[in-house]
Structure 1
Amino acid sequence: MSSSVVEPGTKLAERFRLEDRVHESDGATLWKAIDEVLARPVAVYTFDPGFPRLNEVISAARVASRLTDPRLTQVFDATTEDDGRSYVVSEWVSGETLTDMVAAGPLEPERAAALVAEAAEALAHAHEAGLAHLCLTPEHLVWTAAGSTVKVLGLGIDAALMDVSNEEAARADTEGLGRLLYAGLTGHWAGEEDLGLPPAPMADGHFCTPRQVTAGVPGYLDAITCRAMLPEGKRGLAPFATPAELAEALSSVPRPVPMPTPMPVPAPQPVSALRSDGVDTAAPQRPAPPVQHQPAPPSSNGGGMLGKVAMTTIVLLVMAAVGVGAWTIGRSIGNADTPATGVTATPTQAAPVETREVKPESATGFDPLSTDGDHEERPELAPNAVDGKPSTDWHTQSYASVDFGNLKKGVGLLLDLGQSVPIKQVTVDFGSQSSGGTAELRVGGSADLNSLKVVHKFSGLGGKKTYSADSTEKGRYLLVWFTKLPDQPTYQGMFRGSVFDVKVTAVK
């Protein structure tokens, strides 16, 4: 079916109505269409009869449809119908491309690294399924307007459309990711194509490194970019061979804005150690004990006064003894468990409880209140909250307000402990740059929001928060449930909640 016959208003599979022709090249036409069943925009490729690479495009689209990473454009359908019409239907993505983001100049270095780190992780997932991109440009990396997340466009399909192949596909995509990072750090494109960005400057036949182009690029990001983009690497360091290697190198970059790890508090040192550094630091002063005033020793000629003092002391002792006796009798008559007003009973010290750390079997982003049918929230990042690394985190999507843009009442991180355990203590690290916001700690035997009991409420979600149970709460599932997001905006004034680490302690 030729593109002249496929016109706006044409309906495919009795549900996909073509609306606007976006792009047409070499017998393939990209449309913005409407899925009339789900009432949402979709992207649709149609093809002229005899399109030479149709089988390759359909095959690549079907492989892409089986991938689950939400940072990859979702493919909904890839079909050749009986009447000869062929089409590919995928997610319609709107937002800022990397080209848009660097139009006014380079991004903040950590921001550029965070975007490419997300893309590298997504492509690592695609390569595990045997699918490469091979056509990465700044137009293929999008920060979405709706979900405030990274999207990688054109996986597999663009290479098939343009008949691009490479025997070293993993290395080719790693180099492509390096060029995206270079573009984010410098605002220049280190490639032969004219993509609307200024070309990267050259020196001695090689592209200048990011630090040579833009001031303020950290040395480690300069080295990572060169190892990804340049075949010869940098300073004797081997180039990255796969997107997974690049993703690992960028794994410590906070998402999506810099969140420095809090500095450890130094342990107290003896005074001699402090002074050995040349700093005359006084030892911490302890509070002085209460001063007990004693009567001055009597003078040698004060015998009469001594007798009066002795008599007064005896009278006071007798009165005190009578009072104590009366209190003891009254207490024995009354409620033995209720101490008298003004008297503090000495607590009985319980034997110490033996505890153990519990490692969750799994973690996932938990979004049971979503209306789109997808009840997970950034599940691919959830393992970061239980990996023991303070530099990695799970975080929610970004929302327009601290109350989730009025889209839902909450979202959280759900941990499966593998079996029901008596939970004694839970420490949650919400990140040092967070402030404001509220969250609940829920425990239960079922991964159902209403079945999980609220055992504690956190507020002011900055740094580490610890819940210690007075009596153990038994459960298999532990939920950190955000009810209000921290009030520190992230990218473009959006809001999100983060969990950098969770430690769970149970009674042995």
Structure 2
Amino acid sequence: MSTLGPGTTLVARYRLAEPVPTDLVGVESWAAHDVVLDRPVQVNVVRGHAAPAALDAARRAALVSDHRLTRVLDVGAQDGVSYVVSERSRGLSLTQLVDASHVTPDQARSIVGEVATALDVARRRGVHHLALRPEAVRIDGTQVLVTGLGLDAGVAGTDGGSADATSRRDAVALVALLYYLLTTRWGGSSLDVPWIDPSAPRPLPAVRTDGIPADPPSDTPADLASLCRTTLATDSSDGPRTPGDVVASLEPWSTVEAAVPPTVEEPVKAPVRQSIRGGAGARPTTGRIHRAGSVALGGAAAAAGAGAAAPGTPGHGAPGHGAPGHDAGAAPADGWPTAPQPPVPPAPASLPPTFAPGGTPAATGATAPVRTSAVPPAASPAPAWSAGTPVPGAPVRTSATAPRPAAVSGSGGAPVAAAAAAGGGSSSGARKNTIDPTWITLAIVGLIVLVGLVWALANAFSGFEPALKSDAGQAQAEQPADDAAPAPETTASAAPTPTPTPEVRPEIASGEQLDPIGQSNGDTEGEHPEAVDLAIDGQPETFWYTRTYATPEFGGLKDGVGYAIELEQKAPVTTIILDTNNTGGTVEVRATSADKPTDGTVLASAPLADETELTFEATEGTSFVLWFSELPVTADGSNRVELNEILIS
């Protein structure tokens, strides 16, 4: 099998539906359906020299079971195609989560705590992830899922090593995940590796000073900040040694908040007929993992088939269905209609004799027993009629578990019911005191309908009676109510309800870098105009930045630079929040335009920090200017502005 596509069935079991994105080089992932167990799965086809190691690691990972881990279901190869089948990935990756929303320190603690717990379960079984990264962790509602256990390490070529070294590697990667959720930057081992697709999303590396990553935001709890600083320092041997140590450092934590709606599983599809038919031979052995579920299913099916074909086993369906002389869906001889029935295999020759439509046995003999079913059918189309059944009108129900004993006359042994139907003597059988409740039910229903009809007619015509009676007292009593009726209209017309004015919220339309002094001196390069939109793109891992200067005073070349914010429409603004990579310096907010950046009143000013909040009295406008009169310092000591995101309200 050289090519794969939608509709391809792998090993006569896994039907491929559509490709699934993956950041692994040499791996092709598909959303698929297991036609044997009728469930959704994910098929990961591994190509290249890493395939043997990936399959071997995945087989060991199949022994690990935890609700936080996507379980490995099957591993094998066919016609040169190596594959690993796992539970289907759900929810959003941490990369997508960070892009879509701000993760609080409490959420970060909970997410990483759940991941660490799952990896500690795997560690106790001798399995390590060794390729942990934001794309390997997903959030589905309140559930945290770790993907790629075994497979990713095999593709990356990191599978192996001493237990201490591999446990330490997972522990450091867990702290790197924590740092990523807090800062949107990656503080672990570089992700610029050959086994990760270069086009896949990857976070920016952490900014370091003397090998120590920059501190997380100021609202980060001290224990989390210390854990990141100690563990992620370059060449550090401090910090947790195993995922269990990470759990101990983070607990207790709360339930993960439902930042992502839970995935709704696809509806169960109808079973698909296998392409391998009887007589074609069994499917060849592929070395795949066989699970108890599939074996049990096959055994149950075989047992059911054997039971259906065993001689003397009661049939499954209405008595007489499929017997000679009967057509499926045809009305019985007495005229009662029956629902069409699906075809069933003909009864074995050893079953008891069946009955013809006229009510006589197909073969002569003694009293014919009534056929019963060990398992009641899903829907019984009509009562079963045997040779001795009385005339229609009062059918007699028979037990589904045992044949009804036949009443025999004292003379010849013929059924008494048959004699009664032929006009014989009286019978002491099952119809002796039977009462048909149909007519009683119809009478009750008819009475109810009649009473309802009378009540409806009485209420329908009651509204046409005159409002004023002939009695003078009643007329005087009703007159004030009629006179007062127009009062609400007079009040409504006199005081109409004012239409509420819709609230206008400020929304950023565009941004512009400002370097008026440089332009006046002939410098047309500006302050990185190509990166202006990165400050308003909703992704805090990207940023607009100025040029780097020798001193915070712009090296004496200019008095300042700015960033102009244009709104969609005129709106009141009270707060501007700046997400930066800086400390120090000075930023001012003015309600002015880009062509006059230093005009107008300074609404607020403050030194820059990781999160700088500028609050002022409500001011309406269509444009505001951020003016940097003194440059801040970045984590590496450079004099420049790095503006991740601008939020306005």
TM-score for both structures, normalised by structure 2 = 0.36
Q: Choose 1 or 2 for highest CA Rg.
A: 2
